[in-house]
Chains A and B, each alone.
Chain A
Amino acid sequence: MRARLAVHLVRRSFGTMLGLALVAMIIALALLGPFIVPYPDDVLGAVNLTNKLQPPSAAHWFGTDEVGNDILTRVIIGARLSLLVGIAIPLAAALIGVPLGILAGTAGGGLREAIMRLTDLFLSVPGLVLAIALVAALGPGIGNAMIALILVWWPGYVRIAESKALAIREEPFIEAARAAGASQVRILWRHVLPNSLSPLIVKMSMDIGQAILAIASLGFLGLGAKPPTPEWGAMISIARGYLPDWWWYAICPGALIYASVLGFNLLGDGLRDILDPRSNRG
């Protein structure tokens, strides 16, 4: 039994540890990228046609692309953009969604109805399609893609914040605080927000991975970052034209997307086990 328990704990934490390691790797690449890449000149897209579409070798571990740039270099540089976008989207969505959700949960009445119905409406169109519709209206590009994804993402945060606020509103200690004359704002700030924090942190960790995937998806579709921006999805989109003969071109950027999404998902899973153990795993 002792052994079983140990295996259980190690396996539980093995996933979390792997997630942590992957996330640490992505952050390190994002921070150190420009200092550690093998070919700094290729960062801005130097053209070196004699070197184009080289297979993986000692000099170019993952080969070179159609203008002779080192693929590894460009993928490492891409980490910064992906991570930045991956953090910015859920953060902005939370900044919109959480106050609205807490407002809906504490205010009740018509205001709550209005906020929640609007939320339902945004949730009624599956994410990527809504994002494409918004990008179609705003025009392609990484900035507009980000705006579109933020607009797609905020309703999820309203839902969580609202349900937490509703649940907490019923708690006796809120009743007591109100009876003791605490102001509405103070109650929100001191009680509701801290109690909603655990599920929000878990969701944000998961969402960073999903946002990285979403921005890469839009890049792949030609609706996000445009080449020669070193964005992983856009790189795969170009690499697709060089399949199957130059197969290595698509491998490296995809592997990095996979690693970052996996990392943030596993980390989110681990955080949920620690912070929010009773919630259902979906």
Chain B
Amino acid sequence: MIRYLVRRAALAVVMLFGLICMTFVIANVAPSDPAALAAGPDAGRAQIEAARREYGLDRPLHEQFLRYVGDLARGDFGRSVATGRPVGQDLARYFFATLELCLVAMTLGILLGIPLGVLSAVYRDRWVDHGTRILAVSGIALPPFWFGLLLQLGIASSLGWLPTSGRLSVFTEPAAPVTGLLLVDSLLRGNGALFGEAMSYLILPAIVLSLPCLASILRVNRSEMVEALRADHITAARAHGVARWRIVTVHALKNAMLPTLAIIGLRWGWMMSSTVLVETVFDWPGIGLYAVSSAISGDFKPVMGVTLIVGLNFMIANLVVDLLYGALDPRIREA
């Protein structure tokens, strides 16, 4: 198990280095001149050259790269050209909003996707199965930004039930951050009203974000459960008189969970990326919105920062999935 862990972790470190190289390459193939951007739109030739020297952009590429890696190691992601603020600070501020949104959406996707997958496998070709199939097919095809607008239109605007944008009302004082996740922080402070308000802002974007994820978890879990329920050891369990619910929820589901876990890991990455759309629709102050507004103005230090953070997150998720795989299947652990 330890060897397995170490090997996985080492692979993740190599990938992280590759990721850093990739962002560096992307930033340097840009046709725009970073020095001109940094110096501002009204800068003259001399000012641009000064900026070039200041940011070390006149140095050879390999030196620039070493400096980039060194800066990243110290948590320095560079400065935003548009705001002048350090990107690292911005990321720290926005990341937890995105994390909270994705965690809630993923929880929704798992809590609905797995039971629905199990149900539709057990009641194959019955009405539950047909219903979930429609959900699965449309969940993947529905454009998230359009679905978000429709929800805003229907539930928020017409019915006036829920707020349509932001993370909290502008008049609300957020709790002093402990974890950075509003739902958790408000509970830690025992502030139920704040929790309710945070939830009311969170729920619509979380639903939009979770739908494609729910759809894929459901699809994979269903087909894996159908497979698992056909296994010989399920026949044996039935013959020995093991209770039916126990056969479904433990004997078959445990086997079906391995591929389901893989899709959950994959979907975590997709979620971190489609959150860009959802955050734009709901004005959610996360790294997705930050990346888009920076990308539009050609301010690419923040975009590269977001790329690194999202990539890192995806790697961690894959590592966690690998570990869970090992925990679930002893044969992998001992291999």
Contacts and interface: CB of A to CB of B under 8 A. Distances in A.
Contacts of B80: none
A34 interface: no
B15 interface: yes
Interface string A57-84: 0000000000000000000000000000
B292 A222 contact: yes
Interface in B92-118: none
Q: Closest 5 A-B residue pairs measured CB to CB? A: A254-B146, A126-B273, A136-B295, A244-B157, A262-B141
Interface in B258-306: 259, 263, 269-270, 272-274, 276-277, 280-281, 291-292, 294-296, 298-300, 303-304, 306
B277 A128 contact: yes
A217 B307 contact: no
Nearest to B259: A280
Given A125-B19, A129-B272, A243 B149 contact: yes
Contact of A258 (B22, B141, B216, B292): B141
A136 B294 contact: yes
Given A125-B307, A250-B149, A262-B138, 7 more contacts: A126-B273, A130-B307, A136-B295, A216-B143, A217-B143, A233-B145, A243-B149
Interface in A1-21: 4, 7-8, 11, 15
A188 B316 CA distance: 37
A206 to B, nearest CB: 9
B136 to A, nearest CB: 10
A139 B298 contact: yes
Contacts of A121: 15, 18-19, 22
Interface string B141-182: 111111001101100011000000000000000000000000
A165 B276 CA distance: 36
B298 to A, nearest CB: 7
B296 A222 contact: yes
A282 B314 CA distance: 19
Interface stretch (B2-10, B23-31, B192-200): B23-31
A250 B219 CA distance: 30
B149 A125 contact: no
A189 interface: no
A129 B157 CA distance: 30
Interface of B: 15, 18-19, 22-23, 26-27, 29-32, 125, 130, 137-138, 140-146, 149-150, 152-153, 157-158, 216, 219-220, 223, 259, 263, 269-270, 272-274, 276-277, 280-281, 291-292, 294-296, 298-300, 303-304, 306-307, 310-311, 314-315
A19 to B, nearest CB: 9
A157 interface: no
Contacts of B306: 129, 133
Contacts of A247: 153
A236 interface: yes
A79 to B, nearest CB: 15
A137 interface: yes
5 contacts: A125-B22, A126-B311, A127-B270, A139-B298, A244-B152
Interface centre among A15, A132, A254, A258 (most CB of B within 10 A): A132
Contacts of B310: 125-126, 129
A125 B223 contact: no
Given A254-B150, A258-B142, A220 B280 contact: yes
Greatest chain A CB density within 10 A among B26, B144, B294 is at: B26
Contact of B280 (A122, A221, A253): A221
A281 B223 CA distance: 7
A175 interface: no
Nearest to B157: A244
A139 B19 CA distance: 21
B26 A262 contact: no
B31 A139 contact: yes
Nearest to B303: A136
Contacts of A136: 30, 291, 294-295, 298-300, 303
Contact of A133 (B26, B32, B158, B314): B26
Given A236-B145, A257-B146, A243 B263 contact: no
A11, A221, A258: most-surrounded residue (chain B CB, <10 A) = A221
A261 interface: yes
Contacts of B216: 282
B143 A125 contact: no
Nearest to B296: A222
Given A128-B274, A136-B298, A265-B137, A236 B146 contact: yes
